[in-house]
């Protein structure tokens, strides 16, 4: 089996990397979510612009998540320890296989851009994206639980309870041919193992927040541990 080297960053609290403006709009209307076109969205006012959901805390964070930086592409893992949930996502940069044809990704969406969308989902903030749910363990369920928790404790939700880990190719260029496919295999492997392959049994009883593409891993990942350094 081929081996691929990855750099993995130890989980770090969101609020030590990003400014997360709290959503102060009321969210007491029922139902909590409504359909807007094809998407399911929170039944509350839009109080934060999409571009303001996450703001880098300093220049080092900005540089790490720059669209031109290799560290802004790969796997990202969001962990919610208080609610025993986690999410593994993919941000590919170069190409994907479409019906056996290798197709360039013309406008790659980096990790930072995707994290902004997930911030909206986990805080139940209004945005036009689809707020999904999966068998009572998805984003809508989590957002309601987190909203009620923060409201009952009289604290603002700045994602101070959320952890982030990043996994990058050590040499992304060497794996640019269908990098999306390789990342999806790693994503599925991590989700089905409930992160025990990289973090041990501490997350054994956590549930993934979404279904992954069922691609079986056909390489051996070799992880090099890193710290964010900011």
Positive or negative: CA dihedral 122, 164, 201, 7: positive
d(CA 210, CA 76): 14
Angle between helices 139-152 and 111-123 (to 10 degrees): 60
Asked whether the beta carbons of 4 and 221 are under 8 A apart, the reply is yes
Which pLDDT score, from 0 to 100, does residue 42 have? 98
Q: Tell me the residue range of the domain where 138 lies.
A: 2-226
Which pLDDT score, from 0 to 100, does residue 180 have? 98
Q: Is 74 helix (H, G, I), strand (E, B) or coil?
A: strand
Which of 159, 131, 135 lies closest to 147 in space, CA to CA? 159
Residues of the chain with pLDDT under 70: none
Which pLDDT score, from 0 to 100, does residue 212 have? 84
Which of 79, 96, 78, 84 lies closest to 213 in space, CA to CA? 96
pTM reported for the whole predicted model:
0.97
* Total count of residues recorded for the chain: 230
Count of structural domains, the chain: 1
Which pLDDT score, from 0 to 100, does residue 213 have? 84
Q: What DSSP string describes 95-140?
A: EEEETTEEEE-SS---HHHHHHHHHHHHHT---SS----STT-SHH
Which pLDDT score, from 0 to 100, does residue 148 have? 97
């Amino acid at each position: 089996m081929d081996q691929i080297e990855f750099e993995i960053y130890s989980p770090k609290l969101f609020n030590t990397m990003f400014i997360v403006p709290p959503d102060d709009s009321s969210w007491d209307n029922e139902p909590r979510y409504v359909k807007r076109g094809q998407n399911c969205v929170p039944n509350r006012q839009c109080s934060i612009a999409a571009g303001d959901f996450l703001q880098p805390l300093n220049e080092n964070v900005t540089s790490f998540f720059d669209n031109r930086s290799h560290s802004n592409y790969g796997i990202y893992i969001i962990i919610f320890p208080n609610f025993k949930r986690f999410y593994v996502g993919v941000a590919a940069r170069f190409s994907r296989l479409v019906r056996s044809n290798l197709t360039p990704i013309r406008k790659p969406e980096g990790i930072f851009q995707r994290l902004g969308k997930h911030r909206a989902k986990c805080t139940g903030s209004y945005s036009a994206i689809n707020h999904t749910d999966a068998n009572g363990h998805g984003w809508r369920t989590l957002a309601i639980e987190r909203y009620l928790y923060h409201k009952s404790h009289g604290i603002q939700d700045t994602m101070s309870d959320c952890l982030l880990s990043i996994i990058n190719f050590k040499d992304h260029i060497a794996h640019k041919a269908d990098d999306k496919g390789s990342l999806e295999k790693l994503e599925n492997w991590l989700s089905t193992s409930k992160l025990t392959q990289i973090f041990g049994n501490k997350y054994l009883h956590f549930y993934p927040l979404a279904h992954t593409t069922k691609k079986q891993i056909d390489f051996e990942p070799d992880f090099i541990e890193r710290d964010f350094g900011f």
